[in-house]
Amino acid sequence: MATLSQTPPMGPSGVVPDALAGERLDRVVALVWECSRAEAARLIDQEKVAVNGRPAGSRSQRLAAGDHISLSEEPTVGPVALEPDPTVELDVIYADEHVIVVNKPADLVVHPGSGNAHGTMVHGLLARYPEIAEVGAEPERPGIVHRLDRGTSGLLMVARTPAAHQALSAALSRREVHRGYVALVQGLPADDRGVIDAPVGRSNRHPTKMTVKADGRPAATHYQVTYRMPARAGSQDGPQEGPQDSPVPYDSARLELRLETGRTHQIRVHLAAIGHPVLGDDLYGGPGAPGINRPALHAHTLGFDHPESGQPLRFESEAPEDISALYRLLRG
């Protein structure tokens, strides 16, 4: 095991010496692994830094001598140079001098990261809006205020100026941004609507997965069942049901969801936790479905106050054809 000191360890773990006792976690990670404070903050926020075997809860956590620090991802070291890529196709549905709203397709990664150094949404944005290169504290995520998973399609906002980035990030932290989703899930939820209020954190067994855990970060997802699709014909109480037998050997339902918080994989983790995983989401136990090779999850509404004028803005995006076709098929 490496020992933390002024010399970076060769491996992604170590023990805090007396010399660094009392220092903030983000400063220690940046100092020891010779990365930027922004990169250290990113790793902590994404729960890729553990202290004494548990995901770190805060960048400002003070460390004690003997604490064990481990990283599940090597930090990006040195300056990050992002090259604009005009070949990345973007569906920009709104843009002014302060903010951009993008309708992201499935399978497009939002920003560079492990295994995705090129061809991201950020590279495409830099080709159209080069000024965003200086926006935000993290050079590999210029302008980015919030993210969508690679397999999730739909709406997200991007800041064009530092002031807009600060305002939008603050609104997100205050839970003043509306983020609505539609999902096709396995099973028929018992209640027509509800709130899944359960903390989410990184799985200790599977570091690429998130899970509901007592020491996770607070997370709340609101849901409403809009259509039930039983595998066999029969009467169901609640929202309207499909008149035909389902083409898949399981019950399914269409849900509309709203985020209070925005943890990694939050909707997917929460739905799996209540026994209704998203169709096509093999990472969290969702069954396969005809014609779709990704989670049947789409960010269909986005609402926020304009960062400069304060004017309320609201945007909608229809689900793409793979989800729409599956929904029609399930309804019969």
Residues in the chain, total: 332
Is-contact 225 189, C-beta < 8 A?
yes
Alpha helices in 157-276 (DSSP H): 162-173, 266-273
Retrieve residue 103's tokens: 């309708």
Burial 2-16 (b: 16+ CB within 10 A, else e): eebeeeebeebebeb
85 has catalytic annotation: no
Return the H-helix or E-strand segment holding 127. Answer: helix 121-128
Catalytic residue (choose from 85, 91, 107, 149): 149
Is-contact 226 254, C-beta < 8 A?
yes
For residue 142, which phi and psi values (nearest 5 degrees)? -60, 130
| Positions marked catalytic | 149
